[in-house]
Structure 1
Amino acid sequence: MKRFLSSVRARAALGATLVVAVALVAAGAAVLLSLRANLTHQASGQAESAASGVASQLAANTAYDQLDLDDEDHPVQVVDDHRRLVAASDDLERISGTGTDAVKPQPRSTTPPKGDDDDDDESEGDALELGEISEDAADVTTGSATVDGDTQDYRFAAVDVNVEKKGDLTVYAGASLAAQESAVSTALASMLIGFPLLLAVIAGVTWLVTRRALRPVDAIRSEMAAITASEDLARRVPEPDTHDEIARLATTTNETLAALQASVERQRRFVADASHELRSPIASLRTQLEVGAAHPELLDVDGAVEDTVRLQELAADLLLLARLDAGEKPGGGHVDLAAMAREELSQRTRDRVDVRMDLANVEVTGSRSQLARVLGNLVTNAQRHARSHVTVTTRADGAWAVLEVSDDGDGVPENERDRIFERFVRLDDARTRDDGGAGLGLAIARDVAVRHGGTLTVEEAPGGGALFELRVPAAAR
Structure 2
Amino acid sequence: MRLPRFPRASVRVKATIGAVAVVALALGIACAALLTVTRHGLTDSAERTAKARAEAVAAAAAKGKLVERLAVPDGEDSLLQVVTDDGRILAASENLTGRGPVAGFVPSSDSGAAARTVRVTSAAADGGAAASPYRLVAVRGTESGRPVTVYAGTSLRTAEYTARLIRDAMVPGIPLLLALVAAVTWRNTARALRPVEAIRAEVAEITERDLGRRVPVPASRDEVARLSTTMNDTLDRLEESMDRQRRFVADASHELRNPIAALRAHVEVAIAHPQLLHGDELLSDVVRVQQLADDLLLLARLDAGDRPDHTLVALGGLAKATVERRAGDRVPVTLDVSGDAPVLGSRTRLTRVLDNLLDNAQRHARSRITVTVTAGVLEVTDDGSGIPAAEREHVFTRFTRLDESRSRDAGGTGLGLAIARDIASAHGGTLRAEEPREGSYGGPEGEGPSGGARIVLRLPTASVSTALQA
TM-score (normalizing by structure 2): 0.86
Q: 1:6 to 1:299 in 2, by over 3 A?
A: same
Q: Secondary structure at the match of 2:457?
A: strand
Equivalent-residue separation in structure 2 for 1:51 and 1:2 (angstroms): 58
2:413 is aligned with 1:438: yes
2:345 is aligned with 1:340: no
Q: Secondary structure at the match of 1:195?
A: helix
Equivalent-residue separation in structure 1 for 2:398 and 2:177 (angstroms): 66
* Equivalent in 280, 283, 288 of residue 310 of structure 1: 288
Sequence identity of aligned pairs in percent? 50
Deviation at 1:337, TM superposition (A): 1.9
Q: 1:179 to 1:51 in 2, by over 3 A?
A: same
What are the superposed Cα offsets for residues 27-55 of structure 1, whole Å, 9 maximum, x if unpaired? 22221111111111111122223334434
Deviation at 1:300, TM superposition (A): 2.6
Deviation at 1:280, TM superposition (A): 0.5
Q: 1:190 to 1:353 in 2, by over 3 A?
A: same
Q: Which amino acid aligns with 2:131?
A: T
Is the contact between residue 330 and residue 451 of structure 1 (CA under 8 Å) also seen in structure 2? Answer: no
Deviation at 1:423, TM superposition (A): 0.2
Deviation at 1:135, TM superposition (A): 12
Equivalent-residue separation in structure 1 for 2:395 and 2:100 (angstroms): 106
Is the contact between residue 291 and residue 299 of structure 1 (CA under 8 Å) also seen in structure 2? Answer: yes
Q: Which moved more, 1:353-362 or 1:181-190?
A: 353-362
Equivalent-residue separation in structure 2 for 1:243 and 1:202 (angstroms): 26
2:243 is aligned with 1:238: no
Q: Which amino acid aligns with 2:15?
A: A
What are the superposed Cα offsets for residues 423-467 of structure 1, whole Å, 9 maximum, x if unpaired? 001012563464111110110111111011101111233222011
Q: Which has the larger radius of gyration?
A: 1
2:219 is aligned with 1:261: no
2:411 is aligned with 1:407: no
Partner of 1:160: 140
Partner of 2:445: none
Partner of 2:395: 420
Q: Which amino acid aligns with 1:88?
A: A
Is the contact between residue 402 and residue 471 of structure 1 (CA under 8 Å) also seen in structure 2? Answer: yes
Q: Secondary structure at the match of 1:11?
A: helix
* Equivalent in 432, 436, 456 of residue 469 of structure 1: 456
Q: Secondary structure at the match of 1:473?
A: coil
* Equivalent in 128, 135, 145 of residue 120 of structure 2: 145
2:11 is aligned with 1:8: yes
Q: Which moved more, 1:24-33 or 1:416-425?
A: 24-33
Q: Secondary structure at the match of 2:138?
A: strand
TM-score (normalizing by structure 1): 0.85
* Equivalent in 254, 258, 283 of residue 280 of structure 1: 258
Is the contact between residue 313 and residue 347 of structure 2 (CA under 8 Å) also seen in structure 1? Answer: yes
* Equivalent in 29, 35, 38 of residue 38 of structure 2: 35
2:193 is aligned with 1:188: no
Equivalent-residue separation in structure 1 for 2:325 and 2:242 (angstroms): 39
2:182 is aligned with 1:203: yes
Q: Secondary structure at the match of 2:136?
A: strand
Is the contact between residue 142 and residue 155 of structure 1 (CA under 8 Å) also seen in structure 2? Answer: yes
Is the contact between residue 392 and residue 403 of structure 1 (CA under 8 Å) also seen in structure 2? Answer: yes
Q: Which moved more, 1:276-285 or 1:20-29?
A: 20-29
Q: Which amino acid aligns with 1:98?
A: A
Is the contact between residue 430 and residue 436 of structure 1 (CA under 8 Å) also seen in structure 2? Answer: no
Partner of 1:86: 90
What are the superposed Cα offsets for residues 180-208 of structure 1, whole Å, 9 maximum, x if unpaired? 11111111222211222222222221221
Cα RMSD after superposing both structures: 2.6
Is the contact between residue 411 and residue 465 of structure 1 (CA under 8 Å) also seen in structure 2? Answer: yes
Q: 1:323 to 1:136 in 2, by over 3 A?
A: closer
**What stretches of structure 1 of length at least 5 have no aligned partner?**
101-133
Deviation at 1:179, TM superposition (A): 0.6
Give the total of aligned pairs.
438
Is the contact between residue 89 and residue 101 of structure 2 (CA under 8 Å) also seen in structure 1? Answer: no
Partner of 1:299: 277
Is the contact between residue 391 and residue 405 of structure 1 (CA under 8 Å) also seen in structure 2? Answer: yes
Q: 1:135 to 1:310 in 2, by over 3 A?
A: closer
Is the contact between residue 136 and residue 152 of structure 2 (CA under 8 Å) also seen in structure 1? Answer: yes
Deviation at 1:63, TM superposition (A): 5.8
Partner of 1:451: 426
Partner of 2:249: 271
Q: 1:94 to 1:144 in 2, by over 3 A?
A: farther
Q: 1:394 to 1:96 in 2, by over 3 A?
A: farther
Is the contact between residue 155 and residue 177 of structure 1 (CA under 8 Å) also seen in structure 2? Answer: yes
Equivalent-residue separation in structure 1 for 2:101 and 2:434 (angstroms): 105
Q: Which amino acid aligns with 2:280?
A: D
What are the superposed Cα offsets for residues 278-337 of structure 1, whole Å, 9 maximum, x if unpaired? 000111122122223323333232222211111111111111111111111042122222
Q: Secondary structure at the match of 2:71?
A: coil
Q: Which amino acid aligns with 1:473?
A: P
2:106 is aligned with 1:98: no
Equivalent-residue separation in structure 1 for 2:88 and 2:175 (angstroms): 54
Q: Which moved more, 1:240-249 or 1:68-77?
A: 68-77
